[in-house]
A = this chain, B = another copy of it.
Amino acid sequence: MSFGISIEASTNKKQKPDPKNLVFGHHFTDHMFIMDYDAGQGWHNPRIVPYQPIALDPAAKVFHYGQTIFEGLKAFKKADGTVITFRPDKNFERLNRSNERLSVPAIDEKLGLEALRQLLLIDQDWIPEEEGTSLYIRPFVIATEAALGVNPSQKYLFMIIMSPVGSYYKEGINPVKIFVESHYVRAVRGGVGDAKTAGNYAASLKAQEEAHERGYSQVLWLDGVHRKYIEEVGSMNIFFRIGGKVVTPALSGSILDGITRRSIIELLRHWGEPVEERQISIDEVIEAHRNGTLQECFGTGTAAVISPVGELSFNGEKYTIQDGSTGELSKKLYDTLTGIQRGIVEDSLGWMIEIK
């Protein structure tokens, strides 16, 4: 099925950035996908056009009421030139779960995947080939009706833009320092913390800025009710290895159902490693640190894949994990997952989708 996607090819190809010095999310490919929604008419006019600014009325609802959803996933180029993507179907499923929560009309997931396929084919020379690089893909929806008043928009745009990105780690995988946030709260059960919507990220900026000033790269959020159960980190889910067992916070309704999180759980289970998805308090983590059973801690997300945590700061105390170096399991998970994504480790769980 082509879904009637029209293509207007760019006649003015942009210069590609140096693949050795890619900054995350600053360069975009030659084309973008765009599709309109109007109440009564539904989603229509799917098209690939040259990457270009969009003109919106200043009253467009996205500017005022933040009705917007996004996704993030990656495509890779194998040594033989084949283009592969990591579980894109999961991203389009999650897009629609977020849409539902934010009263945005659903998008045909097959159409989304087909749009992505055609866009990747037309811009495939933008996928960098160096180890650790990839093409970051950003599907998103914005409410465009030009009307003030808090209610779901009658008009939307769905777009896909793509950006070549470098390795998250300049020189191999490197542990980060994380600040456990006890003042600010990102999301609470009953809210929109499990949807990938703009407001959750706006709500995180202040805490992140303050953590940076203190020398920490990210914050670890605690739940908004008890202020003690661990939620997630910036744009990553979080895992602990305590006394040989891997533990990650259960999907409580206020954290994102990360696709990397899910994949790590599936991979560990595939290896026969026990994984617990449950409530875990910061006190339990501190106690495990005290009694020497806290072996590893790592974040998981599309951008960094696996991000080992070398230090946690909580209530003025610093807790070093694994002497600040990368744990054995973190390393193994990183090598396996990035290996599968680059097509050099067997994809035994059937995650990679070839684009042709």
Contact = CB atoms under 8 A, between A and B. Distances in A.
A161 B58 contact: yes
Copies in the complex: 2
A180 to B, nearest CB: 13
Contact of A206 (B57, B103, B142, B235): B103
Interface stretch (A59-67, A126-134, A242-250): A59-67
A197 interface: yes
A148 B25 contact: yes
A101 B147 CA distance: 26
A46 to B, nearest CB: 16
A316 interface: no
Given A191-B187, A191-B188, A202 B53 contact: no
Nearest to A65: B201
A201 B64 CA distance: 8
B150 A201 contact: yes
Interface in A7-63: 24-26, 28, 32, 51, 53-59, 62-63
A149 B209 CA distance: 13
A263 interface: no
Contacts of A101: 206
A54 B58 contact: yes
A172 interface: no
Contacts of A24: 148-149
Contact of A192 (B26, B197, B202): B202
A68 B208 CA distance: 17
Contacts of A208: 150-151
Interface in A311-354: none
A163 B64 CA distance: 14
Best-buried of A58, A67, A163, A234 by chain B (most CB within 10 Å): A58
A190 B185 contact: yes
A136 interface: yes
Nearest to A28: B59
Contacts of A183: 190
A63 B142 contact: yes
A53 B58 CA distance: 6
Given A67-B202, A140-B63, A202-B102, A25 B149 contact: yes
A163 B28 CA distance: 36
A340 B57 CA distance: 33
Contacts of A151: 205, 208-209
A205 B62 contact: no
A189 B183 CA distance: 9
A62 B61 CA distance: 12
A155 B200 CA distance: 20
Contact of A191 (B56, B63, B103, B184): B184
27 contacts: A24-B148, A25-B59, A53-B58, A54-B56, A58-B159, A59-B138, A59-B163, A63-B70, A63-B140, A63-B198, A64-B201, A65-B198, A67-B201, A67-B202, A102-B202, A150-B205, A151-B209, A152-B209, A184-B191, A185-B188, A185-B191, A187-B188, A187-B191, A197-B202, A198-B202, A199-B202, A199-B203
- The 4 A-B residue pairs whose C-beta atoms are closest, nearest first, are A199-B199, A25-B148, A66-B198, A185-B190
